[in-house]
Amino acid sequence: MRLKVAHTTRYEFSQPVSHGLQRLRLTPKSTAGQQVLDWRMQYDGAVEEVSYEDHNHNRVTLVSVVPGVSEVVVHCEGLVATADNHGITGHHSGHMPMWSFLAQSPLTRPGPRMRAILAQLDVSKDETLAALHRLSALVLANVAYAPGETGVHTSGEEAAALGLGVCQDHAHIFIGAARALGVPARYVSGYLMMDDRIEQEASHAWAEAHVDGLGWVGFDVSNGISPDERYVRVATGRDYAEAAPVTGMSWGAHETRLAVQLAVEQQHANQ
């Protein structure tokens, strides 16, 4: 499948910015199951300083905010060819050792509620793949998908206690629980083409776990499936903080308003 992606992020500042830096993880890479055919990034109110590969093998672009602007716009557009590998991306790459994906972070560390979800696991952890699929179903059964109830700083345990969350929360709960089972796990940010629309509400997130004999395997807890050809992987990390599409800092602006426009659609051969 050929997926066309158009993603615009707009920051409006309450006052002109004197200085700012933004770290962008918005460039997908060709990996198992996807080939990047074209990808372009444009900026209004910002200047690209450097592009590099981080410790998680993500393509990162560092941009500086033009002093005095009240708005920054980052526009990404490209074409990615995808295939259905049943969520399997295969062997590990990057500079992070596998054991680092067993260590909990503040966003993934299990508390009483996450441990209660784990206690419901009725598949032997020795059957790793089956146990992970069952874990994914248990997370969704215990934490209903509900936009607007959590934020980017909400931990998996907090979302589990609330019983509500979005894809980011589902991924953190799954990752923390998988690590508690002794399975390396990581966070994935990217795009999902919904079958009933072109304009998407937001970018997407899911989890990957490392299974002996298969390598990294994806689990989209929110949709109850493993990623297929409708997904585009952009960045990975131990949690959201390491794979966030945009992070940064600015001086001179007291308030910031964020608006995102995202379209993902299939492009047919004659287009």
CB of 30 within 8 A of CB of 36?
yes
pLDDT tens-digit series, residues 69-89: 999 999 999 999 999 999 999
Q: Six-digit token pair at 139? A: 């997370």
Output the pLDDT for position 200: 82
CA distance 243 to 56: 9
Q: pLDDT class for 199, splitting at 50, 70, 90? A: confident
The per-residue b/e assignment along 199-216, b for 16 or more CB within 10 angstroms, e otherwise, is ebeebbbbbbbbbeebeb
* Structure-block tokens of residue 257: 């308003």
> What value does the mean pLDDT take over residues 136-150?
97
Task: Please identify which residue in the block is written with the tokens 């608006």.
Answer: 259
pLDDT score of 207 more than 60: yes
Kindly report whether the global pTM for this prediction surpasses the value 0.75: yes
Confidence class for position 269, pLDDT limits 50, 70, 90? low
For residue range 89-101, list pLDDT tens digits in order. 999 887 899 999 9
Q: Name residue 229's amino acid.
A: E
The whole-number pLDDT of residue 268 equals: 80
Q: Which of 192, 206, 230 is nearest to 83 (CA)?
A: 230
pLDDT at 197 > cutoff 90? no
Those residues with Cβ within 8 angstroms of residue 249's Cβ, 6 or more apart along the chain or in another chain? 20, 21
